[in-house]
Amino acid sequence: MTTSPESAAVEVSDLRRRYRGGFEAVRGVSFTVRPGELVALLGTNGAGKTSTMEVIEGLAEPSGGSVRVLGKDPIRDRTTVRPHVGIMLQSSGMPGDLTVVESLRLWAGTCATPRPVDEALEMVKLADRAATPVKQLSGGEQRRLDLALAILGRPRVLFLDEPTTGLDPESRRATWALLSTLLAEGVSMLLTTHYLEEAERLADRLVILHQGSVVAAGTLADVVAAHPAEIRYRGLRPPALVGNETVRVEGDRVTIRTRSLQGSLTALLAWASASQVELAELAATPATLETAFLALSAERAADAQRDNEQDQLRDEVTVR
């Protein structure tokens, strides 16, 4: 199966997924994974990441919109697409009585051009656990076996659902290094994670979901640039600085949010020096993915509360 180099590895257009019972978990999601890039799908619990992934992986039908993997429909064209795809679910579901090496051999039998099993074991640093029954693996070792199974068939596209959950910091870094190597070899990846550092390290682009919709997307720089930096200190309220700040004062705690960190900080220090004001515990922090993510969640919660209050008001007016 060939695709032209510029065609997308994954193309998701206006995807919708409604569960039996009527709940719509995915509400018009669109994004692209280009060849050789890693896109991280982020969002709070229940945002719709797994619901989206399952449709892309061909494990569930969409109720609207479309998904293409290597230009094909992952369900209708399953026999063409599946040999080129590696999937790491939240749990592989391998029988617990099989050993690690038996699991890999069993799975290798389903792949067209599998890697040697020993190579896959080395790649995830599980060679010393080859003869261990799967049910005796630790949670982190189980996750590494899941990854070995996903990469065994030399996939062109990898779907990774929380690949480093439960891994210790050293194993997490080893997994990041392995994924970086595969990316450099041209493998395309779509990954979900709750570890924002993982997304910062690995992702070429981010897609942030909230209640089934995309609320932010782009490179890390794009997503973070949409959010202000913060300056905090204890002391007096400052005058207007460069003009685009918002200032919050609680007791003697001052928080300034600004889109021009250098300009605001320079003006603040100049004022403090000229007025001989002390800025105790002064700290300046640029926006990070974490602050952007928390701000997006807080904005959406505030939107939901406002909608709720408006609905209540409307109901009260209707009753009267």
Would you say 4 or 45 has its CB closer to ligand ATP?
45
Would you say 23 or 180 has its CB closer to ligand ATP?
23
Closest approach, Cβ 83 to ligand ATP, in A, equals 26
Closest approach, Cβ 201 to ligand ATP, in A, equals 19
Residue 148, classified by CB atoms within 10 Å of its CB into exposed (0-12), middle (13-18) or buried (19+), is buried
Pairwise CA distance, residues 209 & 213, whole Å = 5
Would you say 80 or 165 has its CB closer to ligand ATP?
165
Reading phi first (left if > 0) and then psi (alpha if -120 to 50, else beta), residue 314 is in: alpha
Q: Is 286 near ligand ATP (CB under 6 A)?
A: no
Three-state SS letters, 10-61: EEEEEEEEECCCCCEEEEEEEEEECCCCEEEEEECCCCCHHHHHHHHCCCCC
Would you say 49 or 144 has its CB closer to ligand ATP?
49
Closest approach, Cβ 303 to ligand ATP, in A, equals 17
- Centroid of chain to Cα 205: 9
Reading phi first (left if > 0) and then psi (alpha if -120 to 50, else beta), residue 227 is in: beta
Closest approach, Cβ 45 to ligand ATP, in A, equals 3
- Segment interacting with ligand ATP (CB under 6 A) among 7-15, 39-47, 97-105, 182-190: 39-47
Q: Where are the beta strands (DSSP E) in 114-179?
A: 157-161
Q: How many chain residues bind ligand ATP (CB under 6 A)?
A: 12
Residues in contact with ligand ATP, shown as a per-residue x/- string from 3 to 32 under the rule CB under 6 A: ----------------x-x-x-x-------
- Segment interacting with ligand ATP (CB under 6 A) among 44-52, 114-122, 177-185, 226-234: 44-52
Would you say 25 or 256 has its CB closer to ligand ATP?
25
Closest approach, Cβ 223 to ligand ATP, in A, equals 17
Would you say 45 or 318 has its CB closer to ligand ATP?
45
The answer to whether the beta carbons of residues 134 and 100 sit under 8 Å apart is yes
Q: Which of residues 45-104 bind ligand ATP (CB under 6 A)?
A: 45-51
Pairwise CA distance, residues 166 & 189, whole Å = 20
Tokens read off for 96:
């617990």
CA neighbor of 58 nearest in space, from 84, 40, 39: 84
C-alpha separations of 150 from 81, 106, 121, 160 in Å:
14, 13, 12, 8
Q: For binding to ligand ATP (CB under 6 A), which residues are involved?
A: 19, 21, 23, 25, 43, 45-51
